[in-house]
Each structure stands twice: as structure tokens, then as C-alpha cells.
Amino acid sequence: MYIPINWKKAPKIEIDQTKCTVPMYCKLCLQACPQACFRVTEAQFQRFIEQDREKLGDFVLTAPYRYDCTLCNVCVEVCPVDAISITSEEDTDDK
Amino acid sequence: MCVFCERFGDPEIGGGLWYLNPRNYGRQLYRRKRPGAAPSEFGRGYRGAATTADPLEIRNDTPDKLPELVNTWWANLDKTRPAQVIPLEDAIKVAALVHPFASMMCECRLWTRAREERNEAVYSCGGLGAGMLKWERWPERYKGGINFMSYEETKEWLIKWNTKGMVAILMTYGAPYVGGLCMCDYPDCGMIRMRLDVGVGCLKSHHVAIVDYDLCNGCGVCVQRCQFGALKFEISTDKAHIDQYRCFGCGVCATGCPRGAISLKRREEIPALAEVW
């Protein structure tokens, strides 16, 4: 059994959902992130109905894998609407 | 023998491997539900989001609690929906065993990379068993549709993705009911990622890869193909080295080696690795 140890603190990736409206259609950050930290999910699950990738609010961008983030800032640079901001907890700690 | 083989394998069929036992394909489908009974475990937590959210939140915010989560997961293998890495030869044996086999869009890559696989040439996820006939009834829900394949086509499909460097993973939907055979990589595939990053999700295969140092010329092709970080190229000896504890036994390095220097060995033959899953 493999249990990963000695991990760093997960950086905080904040996504402004009012700016990021069509992540499935834009998909720039999803494809640019070297660590694949982002994930796009359906905003609400409806049986037998396919969500429209160009429609506002059908998909939501999240960053569930943010523990893998290396703070390279590629996603911030690539985002056309400046919706992503990354803060590392190590910056705010007094250690 | 892994936990699954002990419980669901048949020593007389397929050398005791649980996934070569035909009983494990479609067992749940033929069980009739009693009226008024609670919903069965089958199909529960089908949505990937529901099954992966909690471990990831723990991994992000409170990593101290992770060992507890991992121990609970391993203790309740039959109640979760674990997967197992299998080498290409075994994947072809599975393809010969089940019908129908259908390829479809990979939902993991849709989520992590927004990669839409909308035609037969790029489908990288495989579904098998009678459950596939359901997807055919719901073409709209299942984005992009599915492509039913014969045994020969399945074999070609498996070899095509293996050549590209993808790992074959057998997916269970409520153990031991096998419902899928996906071609995955790291980090886009959810199963490999959950196992490597969090410690839950999929089991290692029954094999480990061994390098024949007489044949290895240090070209480094295998190092690029390993999805699990088990292979490294050592400059001083000019050979590829495999970390056997990290090796998942997928055999992708072996099929990529131009000199045939890597072979797969059964896990049971190496005492230290016999119980490492």
C-alpha cells in the first residue's frame, strides 16, 4: 500500500465563477496546466440530457487537484478573462 | 493472489485470475431485486464526481487524515468500486471472454482536459458486458455515442492504445462486476491519479517488469512510457532501472522496448512483492 508522505501545503486556486462562464468551450487553462489541476464538471446533473458546452452556466470550472499545483502561473497568464488567481499558503505563513 | 482472486477467482479457470473468471461479468445484472428492498450496491456512486470529491478534499485541506481514509478504503474493497491494472496480454484475453465490447468517449479526459472524443478513431475508454446495451439506448446522454467492436477489432484497439503508451485498467462497478476496460495515463486518468496521489482507487496487476541488463542498451524509450514513475534511467550504468515497489506491472514499457529487454514476471515469484497491491 502506497501512502504519499511529505507533501507540501496545497496552494489555493480561486476561480471567479462570474468571469469564467464557458470553461468547456474555452478550455485554455484545462489544456495548458502541466499538472492537470483543473477539472470541468456539469453544473447540474440531468438524466438523459447532454449539457451544452457553449451555454452559460452548464459547466463549472473547479480545481480539485490543486495539491499538485507547482505555482507556475501558466493558467493565470493563459486565462482570457482573468478569472484565476493562485495564492500559496506558504507566503502568508510566518514560518 | 490478490484479494479479488481469493474471493472471486476460480483456480481451474485462467490460472485463478479473477478477471478471467466469466462469473464476474454480469453477475449483478441477473440478480433480481426483491420488492421493497433497498437499492443494491451496483451502480451506486456511478458519477465520478461523487466518488472522487471526498478523498481530494482531504488531500487538499487536511492531509493528516489521509492514512485513515486509505486504511478504510483498503478494508472495504468489496463495497467500493476498485479497478485493477492489467497487462496487454490479459486485456486481450478479457476481450476474448466477453461480449459485447464497445469503445466510447473517456469521461476522465473530458473532465481534466476538456478533451472531447467524438468519433471512433479517438475513443479511448472501453465498456464491456451486457451493460453496454443500455448505453446504446441512450445515445444523447452518452456524449459522442459508442462503437461496438468484434474481438479482432477490440484486439487492434487495445494494441493501438498500448503502442501509444496507455495503460489498460479493468474497472469494476461494485466488485467484482467488471464493466469497463479503459486505456489510461497519468495525470489525466482519474483512477491512476487517485492511486498515485491519494492512495486509493486501483490495484496493481499480478505482474512486475524486470529489465534484462544484457539486452538493455540504454535508449531510454521505456522511461518515457512509464505512467507510474517507476522507471529511471541511470547514467553511470547506462541502463534503465525499475523501482519494483512502484511498478504496477502494466507492461507498457515491455511493449515499447525496441530490443525486448523488459519482461513481465508474476508478482508471486518475488517474495517481497507478493503482497504489494
Considering only CB atoms, A68 lies closest to which of B114, B195, B197, namely B197
Q: How far is A49 from chain B (nearest CA, A)?
A: 5
Q: Do B47 and A36 touch (CB under 8 A)?
A: no
What pLDDT score was predicted for residue B236? 93
Q: Distance, in angstroms, between B264 CA and closest chain A CA?
A: 21
Strand partners, B168: B183
Architecture of the domain spanning A12-44+54-93:
2-Layer Sandwich (3.30)
Work out the angle at residue B59's Cα, subtended by the Cα atoms of residues B125 and A30, and round it to the nearest 5 degrees: 45
SS3 content of chain A, % helix, strand, coil (to 5): 20, 15, 60
Distance from CA of B19 to the nearest CA of A (A): 21
Question: Is B56 close to A65, i.e. CB distance below 8 A?
Answer: yes
pTM: 0.87
What's the rounded mean pLDDT across residues B119-126? 87
Contact call for B59 and A35, based on CB within 8 A: no
What ranges do the domains of chain A cover? Answer: 12-44+54-93
Q: Within 10 A of B122 (CB to CB), how many other CB atoms are there?
A: 14
For this complex, say whether ipTM is above 0.95.
no
pLDDT of residue A84: 94
- Return per-residue pLDDT of chain A as tens, 95 residues: 455 555 567 888 999 999 999 998 999 999 999 989 999 988 876 666 777 788 888 889 999 898 888 888 999 999 999 999 998 765 444 44
Residues of A with CB under 8 A from a CB of B: 1-4, 7, 10, 23-24, 27, 30-31, 35-36, 38-41, 45, 47-50, 64-68
For B277, name the nearest residue in chain A, comparing CA atoms only: A1
Q: Please give the sequence-ordered ranges of beta strands (E in DSSP) within A1-95, or none if there are none.
A: 12-15, 39-42, 59-62, 84-87
Whether B159 shows a pLDDT value over 90: the answer reads: yes
